[in-house]
Each structure stands twice: as C-alpha cells, then as structure tokens.
Amino acid sequence: MERGSEPFNISPFPTFSAAWNCVFKVRQSLTGTSGNSLGRGHRNVSSNHAGTATMPRQTGVGQHGLSLTELLIVLAIIMVVVAFEIPVAITSVRTGKVRGAAKDYAGLLQIARIRAVDDNRYYSVCTQAATGPKPQMAYVDMYPAQVPGNSGGTPTCAGSYYNGPPADPYIPLPAEIVPRLKAAAPSTTNLEGQICPGCGAAFIYDGLAPNTGPTFGPEGLPCHSFGGTCNTGGGIAAYETFFQSTTSQQWVAVTITPAGRIKTWYYNTASSTWTPMQ
C-alpha cells in the first residue's frame, strides 16, 4: 500500500481482520491512546463501509511498526484459529472420500445396466482386493463372454478383473474405503425398509456376498445370477452394497431397487438411520 493511498480493505480476510482489531485494542490499552489516535502520524482503524475493517494510513511523520508483542498476539490468534479448523478440514476430506467412492460405485452400476441392455446380456459388478500393481477395485464383469448370455467368471464374481483387450470397465477404490458384508453393516432393516418395503429380506441380496454381485439383465432390471441367466429361482431382486472408511469409520451404501433405481446413502450415527445422499 502506497503512502497517501486509500485504506487497504482487508474484509476478505476475516481471521487477519479480527487479529488486527484485537492488536489495535491491546495497543490502546498499553499506550493509553484514545480511540481516535494510534499516536503521532497514525489514523485509527476505521471503516468506509459497514462491516469492512481498514488498515491505518501513515502520514510519514513519526511512523512506527508493530511491536514484537503485537506480532506475537497476531500469531497466537491465527494459531488458535488454525488449531480449530484443521480437524474440521480433515473430517471433511475423509467424508468426501468415502461418499465419493459410493458415487463412483453407483456410476459403475449404471454402466453395467446400460451395457446389459445394449448387448442383450447379463453383467455383474464385482469387487477385487488389491493384487500386485492393481489397486483395490470394483469392475463390471463383462469379459470373456460366455455362451449362456452371462459374462466373466462363472459362478458370478468367481473370477477376476479382465485386463483385455477389451478390458472390463472398472473404478479404483481408495485403500481406506473397505467393502463390508451386510452382516457387519448397521441398521440394515432401516435401509431395506426404505429401498423396498414389501420385498422381504430374502429378495434383497448382499452385493458383496461370495459368488454374488449386483447383476443386470437385458431388460435393465436387477436379477440374481445363478451362474447363467438370472432369476432362474423366480422372484424379484434388489441389492445393497456397503462400504466403510477405516479412518473416519463412516458407513455408506449403494442400493438397487427391483425397478432398477440406483441410490447412494450415508449412515447417520446420531439417529441410527440411513439418509440418501444429495
């Protein structure tokens, strides 16, 4: 800021603004100056507009910088604010990561559904632990194509990711986001009552159970694969797949209704209920 220019507006920096005003009040109490003066050659911290703090303008006569005590006060205030903000930021990052994984998985389910309709086949979505250079992942088990109309490993999800070409569509899953079986998930009855109230637990399948994976048929509807075509045992099918963050312990779920609607959820520990993500 040049000498004689307009006061520097610091309103976009609320932490610094608050710290400066605190130092100004301390200086007043220490020096005995009034609210109209900071001493010779200084103008009081003022405001050109409501709620906008400004720096003092120096005239060039009797200029004085901040004392060491005042600088330490500013640093102390900033450190206290940062100490409160860091945990909030870390929690936000962890929440974003686990919910982002759920949304990515939901997107992969949509790919499986669209390709099943386009190709007139049955496609399942499977998960696979990290192996060698390959990260933990979820993939659409499309290749190699099998004669009965299903694809990939037989029985369902008994194989592994096929690198092709052509390769199975896949998404990497962060190492701290762990797929969990339905038996370990909280309040599954609450979730099942929201996705398919009249289905009954027998027709809502665990998307991570052995030799099971959310499967779509040529009609774009979910079905339960028995190592060939779907729903040979009759009845409707719905799926729920659970993930948990090992760092924040947060739970998320991705569900498929019998009508093929895919939805993401997060677990509200305060109410012990599942809430749809926005």
Is the predicted pLDDT of residue 80 greater than 80, yes or no?
A: yes
8: amino acid identity, one letter: F
Tokens coding 131? 């192996």
Q: What is the pLDDT of residues 218-242, one digit of tens each?
A: 889 998 876 556 765 567 899 999 9
Range in 2-11, 217-226, 252-261 the model is least confident about: 2-11
Tell me how crowded residue 51 is: count the other CB atoms within 10 A of its CB. 7
CB-based contacts of 230, cutoff 8 Å, min separation 6: 122, 215, 217, 223, 224, 237
Report yes or no: 277 and 99 within 8 Å, Cβ to Cβ. Answer: yes
CATH of domain 97-276: 3.55.40.10
The domain spans of the chain are 97-276
SS (H, E, C) 67-125: CHHHHHHHHHHHHHHHHHHHHHHHHHHHHHHHHHHHHHHHHHHHHHHHHHHHHCCEEEE
pLDDT at 85: 82
Average pLDDT over residues 193-220: 89
pLDDT at 1: 42
Range in 42-46, 65-69, 71-75, 262-266 the model is least confident about: 42-46
pTM: 0.71
